[in-house]
Amino acid sequence: MNSVLAARGLVKTYGDVHALAGVDIDIAAGDVLAVVGPSGSGKTTLLHVLSGILRADGGDVFLDGRAIGELTETGRSALRRTEFGFVFQSGMLVAELTAEENAALPMLLGGGSREESLGAARLWLGRLGLEGLEKRRPGELSGGQAQRVAIARALAHRPRVVFADEPTGALDTRTGQEMMTVLLQAARETGAAVVIVTHDKAIADRALRVVEIQDGRIAAGVSA
């Protein structure tokens, strides 16, 4: 398998808590990986280390074979901005920006021009069934709509990997499932890999592969 993102022997400790105790993972382009496990097992920590938000205490993460642990904070920040996309639990949209501006923000921050970025954002909002809502603010959107804006934001700059930490946590079951459908379909169109952290069995079932984490180790890797 030709992996985009690979983790080797990841270790992360907080004092004497071993949040990650030697994790190996390979993620290929177009892959959809669900990370499941009980609360406090280290799922969020794994996602943070994989995406370069946190630096591993041991082992490293490789993007196209390049070790990201060797990058500076600025370098990892640029990496997250260009190569990765993020979907957070409750959207975490900027309250004052409109839907299209929120979706365009990563491109603008990456140096994209106003027209180009807003154009791409509108395109994605349309694809995700949000046409007509481009000028709304997050406060004027339902939870599901806000989460679709977040998906548009995560995908508009065509990242290699999309990370989602409990993206359906604040949604009801049906809206959550709808959101998953939208996310997976959008990822398939761009060829991005998706890493989803969830504790919801029904959501995990939508993934191609599921890894279960327990006490910072992979307890079971299930390939679809």
Ligand X SMILES: Nc1ncnc2c1ncn2[C@@H]1O[C@H](COP(=O)(O)OP(=O)(O)O)[C@@H](O)[C@H]1O
- The pairs formed by 52-56 with CB atoms below 8 angstroms and a separation of 24 or more are 52/76, 52/79, 52/80, 52/84, 53/80, 54/12, 56/10, 56/11, 56/12, 56/20
> Within positions 182 to 201, which residues make up the interface with ligand X, using CB under 6 A?
none
* Cβ partners under 8 Å of residue 2, min gap 6: 28, 29
Q: Is 108 in the site for other proteins (CB under 8 A)?
A: yes
> Nearest distance from residue 219's CB to other proteins, in Å?
23
Q: What residue 72 binds from ligand X, Mg ion, other proteins, none (CB within 5 to 8 A, per partner kind)?
A: none
The region of 42-50, 113-121, 148-156, 198-206 touching Mg ion under the rule CB under 5 A is 42-50
Could you say whether residue 44 binds Mg ion (CB under 5 A)?
Answer: yes
Q: Tell me how far apart the alpha carbons of residues 60 and 76 are, in angstroms, rounded to a whole number.
A: 13
In the region spanning residues 44 to 83, those forming contacts with other proteins, defined by CB under 8 A, are: 44, 48, 51, 53-54, 74, 77-82
Among 44, 77, 89, 175, binds ligand X (CB under 6 A): 44
**By CB under 6 A, what part of segment 3-32 binds ligand X?**
14, 17, 19
Report the alpha-carbon distance of residue 198 to residue 163 in Å, rounded. 11
| 170 binding other proteins? (CB under 8 A) | no
Give CA–CA dist 122/99, Å, rounded: 9
